[in-house]
Structure 1
Amino acid sequence: AQDGLAGGRGEDSSVIITLPECSAFSDIPEEALAKVFTYLTLIPRQPGVKFIIILDRRLDTWASIKTALARIAASFPGNLHLVLVLRPTSFFHRTVTDIGFRFSQEDFMLKMPVVMLSSVTDLLRYIDENQLTSEFGGTLDYCHSDWIVLRTAIESFAVTVKDIAQMLQGFGTELAETELPDEGKAIESLLESHTGKYRKLKDAIRSVSKEGRHLLLSLETSGKEDDSQWDVKLDWETVQRLLAQLRDMESAFDGFFEKHHLKLHQYLQLLRYEQSFQELCLDHLMAQERELTTSVDTEAQTEQALKRLDGLESNAQEVMTRAQIIILHGHQLSAGHHYAMALIMQRCNELRHYCDTLNAALKTKHTRLLQTHQLLLCLGQAQTWCDDGAYLLANQLVDKFQSKDGAQAALRDIEGFLDGAPSMLSSGPDVLAIEYEHAAVQQMIQNRQASLRKLADKHVRPVQLVAPRPENPPRSKSPLFSPKHGTDMQTYKHTAAGLVEHICVGEKYDSPSSFCPHTIGGPTCPAQTHVMRELIETERIYVEELLAVLLGYRAEMDNPALSGLLPPILRSKRDILFGNMPEIYNFHSRVFLQDLEGCLEAPEGVGACFLERKESFQMYECYCQNKPRSEALWRQFSDCSFFQECQKKLEHKLGLDSYLLKPIQRLTKYQLLLKELLKYSTDCEGTSELQGALTAMLDLLKSVNDSMHQIAITGYEGEICELGRVLMQGSFSVWISHKRGPTRMKELARFKPMQRHLFLYERALLFCKKREEHGDGCDKTPSYSFKHCLKMTAVGITENVKGDVKKFEIWYSGREEVYVVQAPTLEVKMAWLNELRRILTNQQKMLRGLRDTPVNTGQRIKVQRSIYKLQRLEMLLRAPEGELVEYLKLVCGGLCFDFLYRLQTLQKVDSKTVFIVPGRKCVQLLYGRI
């Protein structure tokens, strides 16, 4: 059929559909004809559009016209305004048509308006000639074959755009569901595969976009600007809309793949970094260093030990060089806002700690071995000289001493021998012992002076920017001897060999406890001392870095010389950028650093020091809660010239954002150093305090992490601080059922669990829904939409649920509401149950204490009677579960109301916990039955 939309319009902008002569019109299936009419009516995308059909039957019969009108009435789906029929031109068929239409007119007019026209000229009374094609005597330019080609191209383009959308959606699903492998080559292969698919899809999008632009150009050439060509204008708008959809899909696809590619690339970086970390042999080197002894008896053993130590130092230097490269790489990854920045910085701190510990241990042993070697050389010379002296004395004949000349000759031999004595023995053994004792005492005095100077500087030093302190002054390389350690110097006068027994006495002077008369406890091991010194030195550096930031950045915001470089809005938000860093600096510089320095000679007191300041460390929680706002502000103004100028003045290699991470990194460093100190303090005094300090710091880290999640809660109308401290938080699958009402049926129909993020406080349990906020990279942070809150005073738990060991029940208001919670692991479930059980047990203990609350004399008898009734109530509450549910609905009243109102839990014999809903309604029926 040649029917189609020529583009003409009738009155009221009705769309003209032309049905030209077609002898096979009656043979077209009804379904096909309905599809054609439906397609033609959908092309004009205008609401309430009307249609005019021109039925050309000039060469046909009345039977054909009647059939065509009937089929149009049955199949046309649109708003049919008018049907114009060009009747047959032959005399016979025209007469038959007039007669047939006269008798059938009412039937057709009831279904649709039909006008029978005698000629083409009659069309002009209904339609303007500019809206008619040439075959009807009009001037409208129309080619049916061109129209079919154009419509085919538009429909093909629309289908292609839809296929592209499905391909992009499928590829996005594949990326989201792909499990990340644990091997670098597999990740590289995955990256290459995903990139290849991405490029193919991009090529397909470009090809389709090019096709759409060509189609758009063709439509513009066809006369989109001409108002008479309304169909071309509609087609142009359709193609333009499809191209806009394609551009939006391409933009969203590019953003999604960029984030996915970045995450996968960072995951590969993290995997390689972790592999490099694991490949380092620091533990093996530490073990070799511990196995290398400095207790030697001979010069040959000393040289052998020095040779082994040199080899170990060579290997250690190579490994530590690699470690420094890994640390530098870790800082580069963190500066690039890697998603695993906390883990990477922890690895960097561990590597730095290992390197410092190993390097200090190797230097100490090298110094001791050199001192021992020098001492053994001197002892060897002394031994040789003593042997020569004994040989000289043995060869002198006593008979020659009888004469003056013989005695003088023997005396000259002895004096000559004494003149050739080694320098260390020329002054006698007493002077030698004093020399070594003087070296030891001098070293102790120097150490004490250094410590006192540092303590004095804390009170009088001016406020200025300083660089990190150098290491403590090196110890004297002179061997250390002292008669205080059991050396009998008179014995030494008789034999130099006795000195060999005291070669290692110098090791006893390494610990400050050897010269501090007020040290508590026994001697301290060198490793423990080294960790203690590292803790103090890093604390000093940390305090100085905080001071540098506060003076070099925060205080400079008030500097008039730099006011032109600082945006005014940034000056008003300095407290957001720096948080409570001034408070942290004051605490560490004025309190905590002095506490640690006081423990330099008594490391066993460090644990008590941390525990004493446990509450002060809570200020870090405030700092960490402000950190997201600080990072957002930094990203907004990081390119500001003010920060670049301050960094240049301070000569910092890293920007301000790296120093704003220092407090968080310091928290991690504390627990690492405490672990190291605890490792070397087994069975020593203060071990329990050290363990408590480590637990406190780990709890602080957990509390900080939980509070970071808490600040993302939205929609809670009350004061969240009134709920107490957040104890635990995590994501669970939750099913909810209610005891009565239509809500129960609604919730029971939900077979699929809800994903909820639970926050456990001291006084309440919050249910939230986790939502991923839109953002780029590190800007994408989750938020938690508040759903509902359960007061802990009305909460009960059932520890085991049939069918899954990871499920447990949290029920509320006497099982009016029951929440079946499925933990991700059994360990998570047990941790939550333990915490819930602890809270409920504490509530029960508080209630038991109410029994001992004193009352006045006038009420004592009534109180005793009420307690008896409470005991009866407890027996009722221990009834079977079916009866128990009914009892839980009731709350007793009367004289003992205050006690009952605060009653929370009663333990059953089978370890299941029963809970009473608190309230003020008095049910005399139950109370009377008790």
Structure 2
Amino acid sequence: FGWFFNRKDSNRLSNGREDSVQIGLMLNENKNEDNFDMNEEKNEKKSFSSVNDYYIIEMPEDNDKNYQQQQSQHEHVLNETSLNVMTTADLLRERIAFITGGSTHNCPILTFPDNPNIEISQEKYKKIVNYLTQVPSENERQLGFVIVVDRRSDKWGSVKTIINYIEDYFPYTIHVIYLLRPNGLFQRALSKLTFNITSCSHEIIVCRSLAELHDYLDSSQLSKDLGGQIDFRLFEWIEQRAAIEKLTKAIYDLSLSLSTFIQEIEECEFPNDVDGTKLIITKHSSEKQDLEQELNNTKCYGESLLRIIQNSQDLSSISILAPDKIAHCKGVCNALMHIEDSSKVLKEFWSVHQPRLLRCLELRRFETRFREIQGLFTQLLNDLSILPNSDRSIVEIDNILTQLDIITDRAQSIMEQATNLRNDGLNLLTKQQSYGLDSIEPKCQELETINSKINEQIHEKQQNLLMLRSYNDKLESVNHWCSKGRDILNMHQIHLSNDKAAKSLNELEDFLKELKLINIDDLQNVNIPEPLKSMIEQVLNRVGDVMNLCEKRCELLQKLAQPINRPVQRVQPLTLETTSPSNDVSILSANSTDIKSIQCINMKIDEKQRHVVRELLVTEQIYVDELKTIIEGYMMKFDDPDRYRYLAPAILQNKNILFGNLIDIYNFHANAFLRDLQMICDDSSVSCMGTAIGNCFIKRKSNFKLYEQYCQNKPNSEKIWENYCFSHPFFLKIQQSLGHRLPLDSYLLKPIQRITQYQLLLKEMIKHTRDENDKSRLQDALNVMLNILSNLNNVMHTMLITGYPGNLNSLGKILLRGEHFQISKEKRRASSSYLRTKTCVRDIFLYDKEILFCKKKNDGHSRSVYQFKESIKISDVGLSTYHKNDKKKFEVFLKDLSYVIQPSIDDDSTRWIETIKKLVSHQIEQKRAEIKIRSASLDHGSHLRRQSHLKHMESDDENMHDCSISDESDSDLPTKNFYSKKNFSSGGSSSNSSSTGSAKLYNTLTTSKSNSIG
């Protein structure tokens, strides 16, 4: 069975009840129409518009036929005839031919009525015959047709024409042709001359009157114009045929949809996760419900149509339906039977497919629980593996045993879950039999294996720890015994009496018996760990030394305890050697421990630094991948002709604004910055990791300015997104195909988020760096990134400035931004007195060319903007570092006005003063250079004019030449002096114009006090 069903291209009946009401209105409007005037034809054309584009679909009576045979028949009708009531409506209204539903011997009767005013062409004949012969059922068509040709009012030429058409083409078998001959006097006389029955290949019976026709055909099967009982209403018949064709077309579409639904589900694979399985169950259930609903709607439509056809005939005089109504009802009933068959197929398919979906869901839940328990087991094994095997202290071993008990409790809970999951898996195998066998059975075996493995490892760990504790207990007892023996040997004096010697001997013998109770033979087990084995060897050596001393002392005491008949010689007692070597060992051990602890701390610091570097590299790789996803997933789709045609021109034209310079940022990170980081991390020869990382940031300082352009474009990008792209299907489909939980605008924030993360990683790296050179280089890199962030912040704020009369881009680069500065203006008079104005609070923006004073306001949309108030050109200002020796303030002055500025932060004054100084100094240097260039150009022009004049005078006579030279020399001096004065004046003039403002400020600088600059 299959999975998916796409009804995008199918034509559906949205509401069967509405369609039935519409059909009822159509039929009732023309229920009693019998005439064929032009007004009725117009009404017919209007009523046909609601059933346009529906093809005739034959519904066979035999419901046991194969579905594929039905489909092939449908395709044959559609491809070969392509006829329906709409394509033949004009011919039907001309009454060229019609089929009333009457029959004889189960053969349908096709009537060519008497209509002498209509000329029948062969094309019209074929078209009407092809359509009308498709109206009866397939069985009736196979039995053949009976044709009635009524030409009572016509001529024999018309008879000959229609008979020739029938002889040339008729798609099915013809049993007999009944001809109502022309009744005109002249036509009766010409009958034998103009028409020869024997020349026809079909049987033709010529009837002179309707009575003769009724001898052959039952009048109940003939229309009233042939003297029959069928009240055939052509317009009503056409409308009912249109409704039936609409019904059959809808059923045909539903059959195709059902077949497609089953086929696509058969070709679909089950998802590998619970969420995906739930999603596909919901999807298939929804599609199945939609299909059922459409079947029910179509069934409702068919039942309504059946009732309308049955009620369309006035049964007051006739108790049964007319043959044409019976034929229509029969067609509708066959269609309803086909709907029932389709519903049955859908139910049978769903009864098989739904359990498979549920089994798949249970299997995926089993696999999900298995992965969770597998992860718990992995974590449990890791926790077991990191438990230390202590061989020093009983307290440490007790702590480890306590931790092991906690792990054991966890293991019991996890193993209980694993056992339950294994039982559930076995139950699934029992219920689902072979389904999921290759997945469930190995996992059940693995659960059993892991349970056994965990039990074995916990038991082994516990036994080892208990053994270590037992050995440590014995070692502690042995050490205590050795210490006790040393104390006994030190306390006992050699010069004792016999009684005291015997007492000491008994005490030593009891002490030696205590060693047997300790049972030191257990310490010589071959399975003892190596570190503990060396400790045991040391202890056993110590025990041997103590035993040797005790045995020697016992021998001596035994001699002292014996009765002595001679004087006892006093012997200097032997003193037990001190354990100074062991003290040396302990000191060395302590020093070694201190060195190890320092090395351990350094290793931890280096490990944290490497962790930060890894985090930098991993997050950079993720960031590059995300940028690549945006570019390939969204931007490149703009160039896909199958997609961009659905986009509005406003979106296509603003593509570059929407994405900004994202491609440039991606190329920088993917091709340069990320590669630099990877080379640093992969190069084992790099000893100074901090310096290498810092150099990487500093070297790429200029590339990070790409973010400035991106931030400047971001507000415009957000406007494009909100106005055109927020809910556009183009972006929603791409988001769904990429599996993104968030829309595109959230991913367009990634560059701004990333640029702010670098300084955090650098700070963390500085924190875990020991080398001072590395720290210094990392600090330089941090300063670079902080300056970039500060500049980006300033750029973002400048975009909120409103009301500026010019172009902010012409002011140059934004250097500083100050918030909540207190500004007061002071007018400068000739008497050097000041007139102070009211102090106000302003936000100041310092550009390369101007200082902007703005007032911060709320724009009414929960967003702050900066309303422009006034500006000062840098070329016109002077600067006083500290206003009246107040270090919190500085003064910016013009010719007759000064601005006293106090930053909100005291430390900002120095930064603002230094920056403005650099700008003013730069302006002065530019003015100097301009003056030099201008002076040089003027001197050069004067020299060229003099040389040209001299050459011109050489062609005159010698006297005039001398005179001219003299005159020129006399006139040249004042000219040269004039230009020199002009040049000097340009350099030293104190004009108020902006072109000489910097020169004036330079003069102010040279004449003002030392703490001012102009």
Higher RCO (CA-CA < 8 Å; seq separation 6+) = 2
Q: Which one has the largest radius of gyration?
A: 2
* TM beyond 0.5: no
- TM tier, smaller: 0.3 to 0.5
**With structure 1 as the length reference, what TM-score do the two structures score?**
0.40
